[in-house]
Structure 1
Amino acid sequence: MGKPRIEEWTQLRSLAFLAIVMQHSIAEYIYRADIEPADSTMLTMMYHMTRFGTPTFVFLSAVLMFYNYDGKLNYFAFIRKRLETVFVPFLFWTIVYWLYVRAFTPSFWQKGGQDWGSLLRELVQPQTGYQLWFILMIIQFYICFPLLAALYRGAKNKINLLDEGRRTGSVLAVLAFAGACYIILLYLSYYRMGYWAGRIGSPWAALVTHRSYSFLMYGFYFLLGAACAANIGNWRAWCTKLLPWCGMVFLGMYIRLGYDVLRGSGETVNLNISTYLKPSTFIIIMAQMLFLYGLLLLLRERNQAFLRLLSWIGTYSFGGYLAHALVIYVIAYFTRPLNLAGSHLPFALLTFALTVLASLGISYALSRMPGARWIVGAGRRKPLRGNKVNDYRGDSRTVFGAGNR
């Protein structure tokens, strides 16, 4: 019958999707030459409200995998399903973005469309479909998942032999140690690895330069997902107890991160100062992600209409994620020729709203078509039933997302 569906995961996925669309909507306007300082500052402040997006998708991808595959695993069946519902849609949308961008490039047609080398590069390092880098990263996790799942089962079995107090202490100790190691890794990534790339030879220099594509650089979020999947009850209790503390940490780091970006930027804001692979950004992401998780738990019995809306958005968020950059491209085709001085903030918000509506609409429509799994990863789903947010059947689909790194 499958495991019970944990509805807050779908709702958290929807919040992460909205955050990612907001990031890319902001990025469309914040670097324009005619932007005024007030708009630039406001967009920067909004941007730092969305940093949890992609790491939350990493966390949710891991938690669903460990939750649904905690028994014996048929590796070939597992990989085949991932190829069908993840890699094939990646190929499809890579070609869509490649063709869309080149359709408005006269030199491409003058050459008879013989630009296949750039298409091959898109399959390794996505640029036109800039959000698709996430799939290349998460596929690495799928390839290694059978080994990780075996380690997960072994650790879970050993920890379950302990009494409740020692069990909780052991998990917290492992997470604390792993978190400290991860902060060291991020410190080296942000402050040292750029220097290393200039001094070491190939192929190591290329690996260091493109380290944001490696799933190892997001390893702590995978471990966090495993901890959540192992004991949902304890995880919910922790998030609820930590809710006020996470809120305060987020507020402090929000101010700190915004100050760092504004201080470190020149005439144009440099959002890369708050990249995911930076220790201070990691702290704000963790605080906000745990805060939102706890907040969703508190809302379970208070605002069912809002939670149902989040669940619907989360259901179609993968297709929306695949399509949203294309929607932004279409909107930009009309907005880039305009002089928007003094209006970049409202146009960014308008772009966000239109992109959410259009991309989810595309995802919904495609999911109801034959062969939808090859395009958006899943076909038409039966409507959810039940009165409680956690009484649905298991949903084995994996969660995805993308964003600025």
Structure 2
Amino acid sequence: MIYLENRKPIHRIFISIQGRAALKTKAYLEEVQILRGLAFIGVAFQHTLGPFMNQQGLGKSDAILLTILFNLAKFAVPLFVFMTGMVIFYNYYDTLEYPKFIVRRTKEVIIPYLVWSLIYVFHGVPFPQDFLLFIKDVSQKILTGSTYYHLWFLVMIYQFYIVYPCFRSVAKQLEPRLRSEKSLILLMVSLGAVYLGLTWLSSSVIPRLDNLGGMPQFWSFFSEYRDRTFIFWFFYFVLGGLAGLTVNQWRNWVEKTFLANSLLCLLLFTRVTYEMWMQSYPTPAGYVVNFNVSTSLKPSMALFSISAIIFLYGLTLRWTQKSNRVMEYLDRLGKHSFGAYLVHALTLEYTARVVYKFMQPLAITPKIVIILAGCVICAYYFSVLISQTPLAAYVVGSGAKRKNSSSGPNVPRSTPSM
């Protein structure tokens, strides 16, 4: 397994892989499922806040609260991508049978994605009169992840499965050159700078080019759907891959830098929240909060997301040292986060309907708490129930059932990273 003892120096961060392939299992990483659970809660939290940020009549205090809460949850998607990189590199760096790998990922991700795309297409929509036009429209939406607001992520993450051999090949070619701490730091700083440049292009340059008009059709397509292109998320995947290849060194480094990074994370959070608030403004109908300002594809938010991932990882390592109910719940939620993610848009909608119908007088904060709790709990139990049925592989992915039945100290972690 890719596992290094604490006493080994950092210049051994990439060691010879001879002999590792003989090991059949890898150590159970307790933090993986907890981080997945946190990431899912973060996604559900963002989507819970969306309708509140769009409503009219927001007071200043409510607008400030929503701005703070929304940015607190922005770590979610980058963390999911990070965990994808960590799990894949952890399991498939030494040996990779690509045909089996991609077939398995297709079954576990794409089939449930197609099923839920159709569920959301027909949800609350009358049967179309022009069936051929309907098929064309749905096909385009499925290809671009546009059938519902949260499904774009699966289109993006599946691209990493497709191109993973390229990342793996580059990592293996770089192994001989990364024998020192300085070399590794230089590489990650360089990749980070490239990624920040990409986010700058996405947030500052591409929108201006779009406003010029007369751009080629291909450019318009790329610009519109760049948020679901793996290139614009690659650094989180690479960072996760580094963590997966050097588990103990990564843990030690996260622990060692925890306090300093916590302060940095707070400063970066203050920065992105200030940026968002400065784009909010009062109107006669109340404050308008533009949550599109806090896009993940801009430099300040990318820096905050990287710092937040490291902070949450360190926090999770500390939590896992103590057994408690919260950790148990997060672990269970993490095991079923893929199915919960797929269904949570529905559980969110119906929970919100109940709250708005029967709890309208409540203030905004208790409404948010109740809707978020209802969304997460219902989505979790839906995934748990479906995972026990013959429909599991088609609805919530076969990974949930396999993870639920796995036990023991040595469990391969090769299931979908949602």
Go from structure 1 to structure 2 and tell me whether the alpha carbon gap of 1:52 and 1:238 turns closer, same or farther (over 3 Å shift). Answer: same
Structure 1 counterpart of 2:169: 150
Partner of 2:217, secondary structure, is coil
Which is further off, 196-205 or 289-298? 196-205
Structure 2 counterpart of 1:105: none
Go from structure 1 to structure 2 and tell me whether the alpha carbon gap of 1:6 and 1:36 turns closer, same or farther (over 3 Å shift). Answer: same
CA drift at 1:355: 0.5
CA drift at 1:42: 1.0
Unaligned runs of 5+ in 1: 103-107, 401-405
Go from structure 1 to structure 2 and tell me whether the alpha carbon gap of 1:305 and 1:349 turns closer, same or farther (over 3 Å shift). Answer: closer
Amino acid at match of 2:186: A
> In the alignment, is the contact (CA less than 8 A) between 1:48 and 1:254 conserved in 2?
yes
The answer to whether structure 1 residue 141 and structure 2 residue 160 are counterparts is yes
Structure 2 counterpart of 1:204: 219
Structure 1 counterpart of 2:243: 228
Structure 2 counterpart of 1:240: 255
Structure 1 counterpart of 2:199: 186
Using the size of structure 2 for normalisation, the TM-score is 0.86
The answer to whether structure 1 residue 252 and structure 2 residue 267 are counterparts is yes
Structure 1 counterpart of 2:401: 380
How many angstroms apart in 1 are the aligned matches of 2:195 and 2:315? 26
Structure 1 counterpart of 2:30: 7
> In the alignment, is the contact (CA less than 8 A) between 2:258 and 2:311 conserved in 1?
yes
Structure 1 counterpart of 2:129: 111
Unaligned runs of 5+ in 2: 1-23, 282-286
> In the alignment, is the contact (CA less than 8 A) between 2:145 and 2:154 conserved in 1?
no
Using the size of structure 1 for normalisation, the TM-score is 0.89
5 Å matches for 1:87-106?
87-102=110-125
Structure 2 counterpart of 1:396: 414
How many angstroms apart in 2 are the aligned matches of 1:40 and 1:169? 45
Structure 2 counterpart of 1:360: 380
CA drift at 1:80: 1.1
CA drift at 1:28: 2.3
CA drift at 1:342: 6.8
The answer to whether structure 1 residue 28 and structure 2 residue 34 are counterparts is no
CA drift at 1:357: 0.4
How many angstroms apart in 2 are the aligned matches of 1:304 and 1:394? 24
CA drift at 1:399: 0.8
Structure 1 counterpart of 2:6: none
What is the CA deviation profile of residues 157-180 of structure 1, one whole-angstrom value per residue up to 9, with x for unaligned ones?
553xx3xxx2x2222211111111
> In the alignment, is the contact (CA less than 8 A) between 1:35 and 1:340 conserved in 2?
no
Structure 2 counterpart of 1:19: 42
User: Percent identity at matched positions?
Assistant: 27
What is the CA deviation profile of residues 304-356 of structure 1, one whole-angstrom value per residue up to 9, with x for unaligned ones?
43322221110011100011011112234445678957722221111000001
> In the alignment, is the contact (CA less than 8 A) between 2:141 and 2:147 conserved in 1?
yes
How many angstroms apart in 1 are the aligned matches of 2:128 and 2:315? 55
